[in-house]
Amino acid sequence: MDYIFHIIILINIYIILTTSTNLLVGMTNLLSLGQAAFYGLGAYFSVLALMVLHLTIIPALLFSAICTSLMSLLIAYPSLRLKGDYFVLATLGFQLIIYTILYNWISVTKGPFGISGIPSPSLFGLLYISGIYSFLVLSSVLAAMVIYIFYKLIHSPFGRALKGVRDDELSLLSIGRNVTSLKIWAFTLSSGFIAIGGCLYASYVAYIDPTSFNLDEAIFILAAVLIGGTGNIKGPIIGAVFVVVLPELLRLVGLPDSIGANLRQIIYGLTIILLMRFRPQGIAGEYALK
Amino acid sequence: MSESILNIDSITKSFVKNIVNVHGNNEDERYFIIDDLDLLVPKGKITALIGGNGAGKTTLFNIISGFVESDSGTVLYNDKSNSINISKMKPEQIARIGIGRMFQDNHIFQNLSVLENMLIADSNTFGEIPINSFFRTKKNKEVEENKIEKAKEIFENIFGNNNSFWERKNDKAKNLSYGQKRLLGLTRLLMGNYQLLLLDEPSAGVNASIIPQIMEIIKSFVDDKDLTVFLIEHNMKVVLDIADFCCFMSHGKIAALGTPDDVISNDEVRKIYMGA
Amino acid sequence: MFLQFIANGIVIGSIYAIVSLGFALIYNTTKIFHLAYAVLYMFCPYMILTFFHGLGLNLFISFTVAIIITVFLSVIMEFLVYRPLAKKESSLNIMLISSIGIMIVVTNIISLFYGSETKILNSEISKTFTIGNIILTYAQISQVSISMILIVVFLLFLKFSRFGIMTRAMRDDDVLCQVLGMDIYKMRYVLFALSGLFSAIIGGLVAYDVGMDPYVGMPILVNAVVALIIGGIGRFEAPIIGGFIIGILQALSVWAFSARWQDAVTFLLLIIFLLFRPTGILAERKRLV
């Protein structure tokens, strides 16, 4: 039973990651290879909040989300001046810079040794969230909250304007909308919410190191979104379920982990190639990448 | 001539093209797309801009609406009360002070519904920051409902009471026919708070049966809404029918100016349009 | 010491230059952001390993066969993935994502069969060669000299051969090329083969010196892409210049700070270029229309 709960918690974390990324990729047509960097920043900021500032869980979540959004604002402004491949490259560059900093700034992040013994967060100082059941509740609540917020965002005038950016930037400019500021909003919101995933991950696993937030992870998050589908709410959720459940299924059929790890990556890769060719909007998505 | 809404003063736009000559060496050549052009666009009238391909018409529109920066010269926009120099402004600022633009291709939002295409074009941007999506305040709702009401009214005014656009309001815009997309693009302009509309070939590429409807709409912009229309047009019938003034552009300059009948009898214009 | 670092920079720069050139060959002509190019770099050494250690063939023959297989893989990528997408007129972002897909698949197939740990091709300690106080291994010297030969031959080829002219024409306007009756898909096969060749040769040489694992390609490719941006997109001399700049700069940042920060320095340079001079050092003159 615990095993199933563990899977559900992982799915919840990935739902937060993919739903936030969808705001960028699916709604605004900005392909970012830097999402793992914000996931990582969120995790490290939450460690700062929990271990150094001794905050309880809600302030810690807010702290890491806000700090990560502010960091992303620094990155958003220069990157968003670039278009197409150049934007992808800029996000890739920032992803690698942030990873290098997390890896090498040993005095602060402990670098490759990672930070262990992250304490269980408390709720209002009354209740300690430790053990799998409380994390199940916490992660489900957070995932539901993130889904709800993005549902609201997508179906609001703001969401409509973002879809406008995706469909036709020129036209949106000609009707007097500030495209850059809309993109910056999408970028910072996406990274702020992805930080919540980072915070959840850090407090659940109680150990973080930079390799969880490297370029492979960024590609993995992007792959999850694109497999599930872009542009609506259910696509990213399906993507998250797919990428978390597939390895467990492979384990269930009795493949040893050594083969399973590679095999599932091969399956992800093939799925991406086939989807891009035959169904570029993903399994359940609405909009194909442009 | 009546009061002018747009005062274009010695606008120049050129680019340097690096070409490889027959000997394989690089050579620089300077091309003038717009060459020291002056023009006054009269207020409350329909002015047509005609000229051959590559004469610089679309570039001139791009300069007016801020998508391209001119090398030199100024564009003054005479608002109701004051005149504003718009030559250094960004496209979105220019749109907000009252210059609407319709592009040559159908630049509507393909994946938004017909209604959403109208709502997004509204001049009121209230509610388009994320914070308003979380808290559905009364104001929010009111603004949205007003926008929908406005869109409905515009459709009814133009296309009659039981129009197909309002019936298909939840269809995605990409499912409309080419001509309908054009009509939607034109109608959308009424959602904004514009004084001057720049229309780039409103009749190009659409079914001949729709052209009278398009002309009707453009006329109604001026007659009913007191707007000014400045349009690029290749269809001389449309120009003769609706335009009050006509200017002929050639090699980046205004070569002839006057009423459509005057301009069309100009020799150079005849050469290009009638092949005579 | 300083000269030694410069020499190391030139060695690593020659690797970046060749990889960057191969990447540019695809990117400049087809506009595909071919991230899967990274796997070709590590695929060739594994093929050498198979033939040299596995089947016990002579080193030179295994090298040749491995290069041929790698070139073949490169062409297969075009045939199975990019060509159908190009015919469907898919967007460049879709090409990019598909390329990531190929990269994941090939990397993990290699890792499945050969394991993900570092493998070495040559267990002998390489002989060194000393000029003044600069020490280089023979493998490094061969890397630099073979890179130089490749670069010179390629640039001459590009300038004077019919194929080179067609490549440059395709860089400028591939639709026009089609209109003029060029079979651009046939051209694309040749381009993919050629870029695969570059990657295979340099990947094999480097792996012979320092060994390989399934993930070596990506960091090299990322640096090569930075080199391309810094050099300037559109010209074929640019990635070479960019490659050497990055190589020497990295070596100098090792000299000045430590090896840990060389990546950060590279990407900072990338960001600076993207922001202030996105056209690169050898900018094509900008066309406004």
DSSP letters for B213-237: HHHHHHHHHHHHH--EEEEE---HH
**DSSP state for residue C212 in the 8-state scheme:** B
Q: What percent of chain B has pLDDT over 70?
A: 92
Q: If chain C, 289 residues long, is cut into consecutive pieces of 10 residues, what is the mean pLDDT of each piece?
A: 87 94 91 92 93 87 94 95 91 91 94 89 79 84 92 90 84 81 86 94 90 90 91 86 92 84 84 81 53
Please tell me the predicted confidence (pLDDT) of residue C243.
Answer: 93
Per the CB < 8 A criterion, the answer to whether A170 and A176 are in contact is no
Q: Answer whether C288 touches B (CB < 8 Å).
A: yes
Please tell me the predicted confidence (pLDDT) of residue C182.
Answer: 79
Ramachandran angles phi, psi of C131, nearest 5°: -120, 115
Q: Answer whether B129 touches A (CB < 8 Å).
A: yes
Class of domain C2-276: mainly alpha
Angstrom distance (rounded) from CA B111 to CA A165: 11
Number of CB pairs, chain A paired with chain B, less than 8 A apart: 92
Please tell me the predicted confidence (pLDDT) of residue A23.
Answer: 92
Q: Answer whether A168 touches B (CB < 8 Å).
A: yes
In angstroms, what separates the C-alpha of A191 from chain B's closest C-alpha?
Answer: 14
Give the angle A128-A133-A135 at the CA atoms, nearest 5°. Answer: 65
Task: Using the structure block, give the residue that is written with the tokens 């490259």.
Answer: A89
In angstroms, what separates the C-alpha of B237 from chain A's closest C-alpha?
Answer: 28
pLDDT, tens digit, 9 for 90 and up, residues B21-65: 666 666 677 778 888 888 888 888 899 988 887 788 888 888 998
Q: Answer whether A74 touches C (CB < 8 Å).
A: no
Please tell me the predicted confidence (pLDDT) of residue A194.
Answer: 95
Greater model confidence, B132 or A86: A86
Please tell me the predicted confidence (pLDDT) of residue B9.
Answer: 86
Angstrom distance (rounded) from CA A288 to CA A215: 24
pLDDT under 70: residue ranges of chain A = none
Of C218, C222, C274, the CB nearest to A90: C274
Mean pLDDT across B89-96? 88
Give the residue from B12, B14, B18, B67 with the most C CB atoms within 10 Å of its CB, the best one to mutate.
B18
Angstrom distance (rounded) from CA A266 to CA C206: 26
Please tell me the predicted confidence (pLDDT) of residue A140.
Answer: 94
Q: Answer whether C265 touches A (CB < 8 Å).
A: no
Tokens of A89: 């490259």
Q: Would you say residue B1 has pLDDT above 60?
A: no
Residues of C in contact with A94 (CB under 8 A): 267, 271
Angstrom distance (rounded) from CA A172 to CA A170: 5
In angstroms, what separates the C-alpha of B82 from chain C's closest C-alpha?
Answer: 33
pLDDT, tens digit, 9 for 90 and up, residues B62-79: 899 888 888 888 888 887
Angstrom distance (rounded) from CA C7 to CA A206: 45
Ranges of each domain in chain C: 2-276
Angstrom distance (rounded) from CA B64 to CA B183: 23
The CATH topology of domain B1-20+28-98+193-276 is Rossmann fold (3.40.50)
Q: Answer whether C285 touches B (CB < 8 Å).
A: yes
Q: Answer whether C40 touches A (CB < 8 Å).
A: no
pLDDT, tens digit, 9 for 90 and up, residues B167-207: 888 888 888 888 888 888 888 888 888 889 999 888 888 88
Bridge partners (DSSP) of residue B180 are none
Per the CB < 8 A criterion, the answer to whether C197 and C67 are in contact is yes
Task: Using the structure block, give the residue that is written with the tokens 């999408």.
Answer: A186
| CB spacing of A175 vs B108 below 8 angstroms | no
Ranges of each domain in chain B: 1-20+28-98+193-276, 110-191
In terms of DSSP bridges, do strands B4-20 and B72-78 run parallel, antiparallel, or are they unpaired?
A: antiparallel
Largest CA-CA distance found in chain C, in angstroms, rounded: 59
Angstrom distance (rounded) from CA C289 to CA B14: 10
Residues of B in contact with C285 (CB under 8 A): 16, 18
Residues with Cβ within 8 Å of A105's Cβ and at least 6 positions away in sequence, in order, are A111
| CB spacing of B16 vs C289 below 8 angstroms | no
Please tell me the predicted confidence (pLDDT) of residue C78.
Answer: 94
Give the residue from A107, A113, A273, A279 with the most C CB atoms within 10 Å of its CB, the best one to mutate.
A273
For residue B276, name the pLDDT band (cuts at 50, 70, 90). Answer: very low
| First vs last C-alpha separation in chain A | 42
Ranges of each domain in chain A: 2-210
Q: Which partners does chain B have (≥3 C-beta pairs < 8 Å)? A: A, C
Residues with Cβ within 8 Å of A125's Cβ and at least 6 positions away in sequence, in order, are A56
Tokens of A146: 């993130």
Stretch 39-98 of chain C: residues touching chain B, C-beta under 8 Å: none
CA dihedral B133, B139, B142, B147 (to 10 degrees): -60
Plot region of A231 (φ>0 → left; ψ -120 to 50 → alpha; else → beta): left
CA atoms lying within 13 Å on the CB side of residue C268: 10
Q: Answer whether B225 touches C (CB < 8 Å).
A: no
